[in-house]
Amino acid sequence: MSHLPDLVGGFLTTLALVALSAAGAFALGVVVVVLRVGPLRVLRAVGTGYVETFQNIPLLVWLVLFVFGLPEVGVRFPLFTTAVVVISLYEAAYVAEALRSGVNTVAQGQGEAARALGLTFGQTLRHVVVPQAARRVVQPLGNIGIALTMNTSLAAVAGVVELTASANRVNLVEALPIPIFVGAGLCYALLAAGIGGLAGVLERRLAT
């Protein structure tokens, strides 16, 4: 297989997509969840609107809209950056929902107790809610990470040649669908297993 370097390049692109989008989705998801559980009604509405909008429209539509729409409003990123931004925005909605259900599992009385002690909203979050919720959200976040990895395969629509796209391209030249697609599948499984393992380790750490 003379096209192995192409596949390796595709895998590295996927790796970069996953790492950057996961970081972006987590950071943005935290912001959105703070808006959603926070005291300002306007911001709660903004957070809810954000989650609803991004969860109800397919990622493919978002990709096309951002790749071809953003330059029309004067924002022009390279294609790779656009893909990272779109996947981050999209998955942030899921991250926010996972975090919110984590926050909701912390008993109401805890928040009230913190308030009785005179803690502010920020202090309550930091000292009372987050430490308890953290362990419960690790597994859901791991699942979102795996889903995100799978979703990076759609970045080909934005002209980014990641693993799936490069497998497709190489297959068109070499016409060896089975080894190429099975190999690509194994790479994804490996990535997913890595994320799952990481989540497991983190969960055990936080349990203590």
Partner 1 sequence: MMFDPPGPRGRRRSRIASAVAVVVVLALVLVAVRRFDAAGQLEVAKWRPFLTWPVWRYLLTGLWATVLAAAMIFLLAAVAGLALAFGRMSSFPWPFKAYIEVVRTIPVLLLIYVVLFVLPAYGLDLPLFWKLVLPLAVSHAAQFAEVFRAGVLAVDRGQGEAGASLGLTHAQNMRLVVLPQAVRHVLPSLVSQTVGLLKDTALGYVVSYLELLQSGRVLANFNHLLIQTFLVVGLVYLVVNASLSKLARHLEARGARSAR
Partner 2 sequence: MRWTTLSVVVLLAVAGCSGGESAVPGGAPPSAIDRLLAKAPVATAIPAGSAMARIKDRGELLIGGSLDAPLLSQQNPGTGELTGFDADLGKLLAKYIIGEPKTKLVTSTSETREPLLANGTVDVILQTYTITPQRAERVAFAGPYYSSGQAIAVRRGTTGIAKPADLAGRKVIAGANTPAIAAIKAAAPTAEIVEFGSDPECLTALRQGRGEAYVQDQALLIADAAQDGELEVVGEPFTTDPYGIGLKHGDEQFKQFVNDWLREIQKSGLWQDVWRDSIGTVVKGDPPTPPVIGSAQGS
Contact residues: partner 1, CB under 8 A? 37-43, 46, 52-53, 55-62, 64-65, 68-69, 72-74, 108, 111-112, 114-115, 120-121, 124-125, 129, 146, 149-151, 153-154, 164, 167-168, 171, 177-178, 181, 184-185, 188-189, 191-193
Q: Which of the listed partners (partner 1, partner 2, none) does 141 bind, with a CB threshold of 5 to 8 Å by partner kind?
A: none
Question: What are the helix and strand counts (H, E) for the chain?
Answer: 9, 0
Q: Closer CB to partner 2, residue 65 or residue 117?
A: 65
Binding site for partner 2 (CB under 8 A): 52, 64, 67-68, 71-72, 76, 79, 156-157, 159, 161, 165, 172
Residue number with CB closer to partner 2 (20 or 161): 161
**Degrees, nearest 5: CA angle 164-165-168:** 90
Residue among 60 and 189 whose Cβ is closer to partner 2: 60
Q: Which residue's CB is nearer to partner 2, number 49 or number 200?
A: 49
Q: How many residues does the chain have?
A: 208
Q: Which two tokens stand for residue 76?
A: 């022009």
Q: What is residue 159's three-state secondary structure?
A: coil
d(CA 93, CA 197): 23
Q: Which of partner 2, partner 1, none does residue 79 bind to, with CB < 5 to 8 Å depending on kind?
A: partner 2
Least CB distance to partner 2 at residue 171 (A) = 9
Report the C-alpha gap between 82 and 158 in whole angstroms: 8
Least Å from the CB of residue 185 to partner 1:
5
d(CA 72, CA 144): 31
The binder of 57, among partner 1, partner 2, none, by C-beta within 5 to 8 A per type, is partner 1
Between 143 and 171, name the residue whose CB sits nearer to partner 2. Answer: 171
Exposure string over 107-143, b if 16+ CB within 10 A, otherwise e: eeeebeebeeeebeeeebbeebbbeebbbbbbebbbb
